[in-house]
A and B are shown apart, each in its own frame.
Chain A
Amino acid sequence: MKVDIRSDRGTAVAVLSGEIDHHNARAVRDELDRYIVAAQPRSLAIDMGKITFMDSSGIGLIMGRSKLMKECGGILEVRNPQPYIRRVLKLSGIERIVKVN
């Protein structure tokens, strides 16, 4: 599992690659939270284009980061989920809370 964060004038993109499950989610969560708290970006996009697997642990991960971004005055979005990941997102109803592109 790899997290690659790039930012440009308050807008950040975190490119995640690998598999998101309960085992991996914690490290990703810690890394994203450290970045959000330190950099306070206005917007953060989680790019899921390189995610090869995600179960409901990914939903918890997205919900938690969305909440933290809101608390820090910013907004979270999700980008490029593969079709099978989109199915998990759809099932959770998270698209009502977080923008998915």
Chain B
Amino acid sequence: MEVINSIKFTMPSLSVNESAARAVVSSFLIQTDPTVEELSDIRTAVSEAVTNAVVHAYRGTSGTIELTVKLLKDREIYIRVKDRGCGIPDISKAMEPLFTTAPEEERSGLGFSVMQSFMDKLSVRSAAGKGTTVTMRKRLSYHGD
């Protein structure tokens, strides 16, 4: 993985930081001059991953969420959202569209579907009691040069 630039942003698992995470990603991506659609896709995917950590990983408790954004060669964006929360017992089930453990909170169960369809690659690693790491990649188009 040839890294051209990267940032790491650590935040407490407060819901108000969902927008902070999006702002961090947007600021970092300015250097790549993404299209409106690419920027919107990545911001949405990051919002989903961070929200999952706030809502599920640290349910009833609090902890730290770590967001890493990297610009790789050939205009590929790498994003990692890592928590040290409760972990996901069944990742395949969690990734099923519309599956949610929090319907009473009006969670739609579409977080992973959004990440999957708005990014090129998605990987989820999780261990019960240890936390979850979501890694996503998306290659940006070449335009205007």
Q: Is the CB of A23 within 8 A of B114?
A: no
Q: Quick check: which of B76-84, B88-96, B105-113 contacts chain A, the rest being far away?
A: B105-113
Q: State which residues 47-91 of B face A: CB under 8 Å.
A: 47-48, 51, 54-55
Complex CA distance for A84 and B35, rounded to whole angstroms: 12
Is A29 an interface residue, CB under 8 A from the partner?
yes
Q: State which residues 13-31 of A face B: CB under 8 Å.
A: 19, 21-23, 25, 29
Give the A-binding residues of B (Cβ under 8 A): 15-16, 18-19, 22, 36-37, 40-41, 43-44, 47-48, 51, 54-55, 105-108, 110-111, 113-114, 117-118
Answer whether A22 and B18 are a contact pair too, CB < 8 Å, given A55-B44, A57-B51, A88-B44. Answer: yes
Answer whether A59 and B108 are a contact pair too, CB < 8 Å, given A22-B54, A53-B43. Answer: yes
Give the B-binding residues of A (Cβ under 8 A): 19, 21-23, 25, 29, 53-57, 59-61, 63-64, 83-84, 87-88, 91-92
Q: Is the CB of B36 within 8 A of A60?
A: no
Q: Is the CB of B16 within 8 A of A23?
A: yes
Q: Could you tell me the distance in whole angstroms from the C-beta of B142 to the nearest C-beta in chain A?
A: 21
Tell me the number of A-to-B contacts counted with CB atoms below 8 Å: 66
Query: What would 9 more interface pairs be, CB under 8 Å, given A19-B19, A91-B113?
Result: A21-B18, A23-B16, A23-B18, A53-B22, A56-B110, A60-B108, A63-B106, A91-B110, A91-B117
Answer whether A84 and B40 are a contact pair too, CB < 8 Å, given A23-B19, A55-B114. Answer: yes
Residue of A nearest to B40 (CB): A84
* From A21, A54, A55, residue with most partner B Cβ within 10 Å: A55
Could you tell me the dominant secondary structure of chain B's interface residues? helix
* From B105, B110, B111, residue with most partner A Cβ within 10 Å: B110
Complex CA distance for A59 and B43, rounded to whole angstroms: 16
* From B15, B47, B111, residue with most partner A Cβ within 10 Å: B47
Of the residues A29, A55, A87, A92, contact of B47 by C-beta under 8 Å: A55
